[in-house]
Amino acid sequence: MSKPVVAIVGRPNVGKSTIFNRVVGERVSIVEDIPGVTRDRIYSSADWLTHEFNIIDTGGIDLRDEPFLEQIRQQAEIAMDEADVIIFLVNGRDGVTAQDEQVAKILYRTKKPVILAVNKIDNPDMRHLIYDFYTLGMGEPFPISGSHGLGLGDLLDEVAKKFPQDDEEEYPDDVIKFSLIGRPNVGKSSLVNAFLGEERVIVSDVAGTTRDAIDTQYEYDGQPYVIIDTAGMRKKGKVYETTEKYSVLRALRAIERSDVVLVVLNAEEGIQEQDKKIAGYAHEAGKAVIIVVNKWDAVEKDEKTMNVMTRKIREHFLFLDYAPIMFVSAVSGKRVHNILDIVNRVNDNHSRRIQSSILNEVLEDAVAMNPAPTDKGRRLRVYYATQVAIQPPTFVVFVNEPELMHFSYERFLQNRIRESFDFEGTPLRLITRART
């Protein structure tokens, strides 16, 4: 089940990014660890009580030269296309403005739940300012204050009530869901056509049930697959679909729904910042990852070229050291058929479970060979470990004092686990806990 998506819509300066940041909180993100982020982060996971969801700040989707009204219109459309619940934000201190009415008019068209939030109600004496907003015809307005953090609990309770109720998995468990992500023109659509064309066993193009994404179901060698979000690659239509922020957003949503993510690079153009950002997100989301270098036919090469490229990729994608790298050509079809074999393999690894007894033998050996260094006279003691989850494989390591587990020692233990079991293509998570 993919997480519900909430979008915040409203004219500029009503407080969208303030609310977004409040709701998201202090999340550590390797992807966004880039200076000058302020408005860069427009999509994030978040939670409220037991609910996990993703949230979009549509105000951060820069639509470049579009006139002002057109920008708000498109931001509202993105919200209607992408979200399960829409928060329509207005500024209580300004009263209803003509622009608020414009936004409302667009949002009337959607069947999705819209919740009206009146921001900048910084103290209870200002509550009366919300009454004006009933005229927008969006139901009861919720008074909030983004800068003071007031009313957000009630607002999020209401948002969570409107989340889609279907708890069913979209597809049976044996289906492998994967997506191809990468910048425009790296050859994602060509690659998809290359697998599909080769085998001609497309089951059907079905519209996603709860989401607007169009998935391609496909079967090869008895294994069912779903290729997520290829429609977004194949037919492009709306103006905003060409904007960079929107394409990143689309990629993030496809990643979220995938088991395996194919990060597609263009061999002719090399590696760009955008590639790293998106790949970083796949890693953070705990997905299995394969790096696919496409257009290998177009590169002039000798016997060293592949090694040089491999080294470059490893340098740029340090955090993806576990991801296999494939060199393919959608045009000549070279090695395209191997992609699904690798997808199967990393998908198995992503779901691999290790028996505790065997895992502990490996860790005992590791610790005996290389005990943790002492830290101010204290030494980390590793008692035992157990695997608590798959997709990605997640291990809890019980120790005397978790603060003594340093990054480098954790890395060492991870490496020992990787040397002993096949976890190629999948991130691993190690959680250190004090034995009680």
Residue ranges binding ligand GDP (CB under 6 A): 10, 12-18, 59, 119-120, 122, 145-148, 182, 184-190, 233, 294-295, 297-298, 329-331
CB of 264 to ligand GDP, least distance (A): 7
CA angle (176, 180, 185) in 5-degree steps: 160
Of 74, 7, 5, 11, which is closest to residue 243 (Cα–Cα)?
Answer: 74
Please report where in the chains the tokens 């190629």 appear, as a residue: 424
- Whether 88 contacts 107, CB under 8 Å: yes
15 is in an annotated binding site: yes
Whose Cβ is closer to ligand GDP: residue 137's or residue 149's? 149
CB of 288 to ligand GDP, least distance (A): 20
Whose Cβ is closer to ligand GDP: residue 245's or residue 350's? 245
CB of 60 to ligand GDP, least distance (A): 8
CB of 280 to ligand GDP, least distance (A): 19
Look up residue 331 and give its amino acid: V
297 is in an annotated binding site: yes
Burial tier of 202 (Cβ tally within 10 Å: 0-12, 13-18, 19+): middle
CA 169 from chain centre, in angstroms, equals 18
Whose Cβ is closer to ligand GDP: residue 41's or residue 188's? 188
Whose Cβ is closer to ligand GDP: residue 16's or residue 177's? 16
87 is in an annotated binding site: no
CB of 336 to ligand GDP, least distance (A): 9
293 is in an annotated binding site: no
CB of 252 to ligand GDP, least distance (A): 16
CB of 354 to ligand GDP, least distance (A): 37
59 is in an annotated binding site: yes
189 is in an annotated binding site: yes
Whose Cβ is closer to ligand GDP: residue 194's or residue 359's? 194
16 is in an annotated binding site: yes
**How far is 142 from 147, CA to CA, in rounded Å?**
15
CB of 188 to ligand GDP, least distance (A): 4
Whose Cβ is closer to ligand GDP: residue 330's or residue 366's? 330
61 is in an annotated binding site: yes
Whose Cβ is closer to ligand GDP: residue 77's or residue 350's? 77
Whose Cβ is closer to ligand GDP: residue 264's or residue 323's? 264
Feature table: binding site: 10-17, 57-61, 119-122, 182-189, 229-233, 294-297
Feature table: binding site for GTP: 10-17, 57-61, 119-122, 182-189, 229-233, 294-297
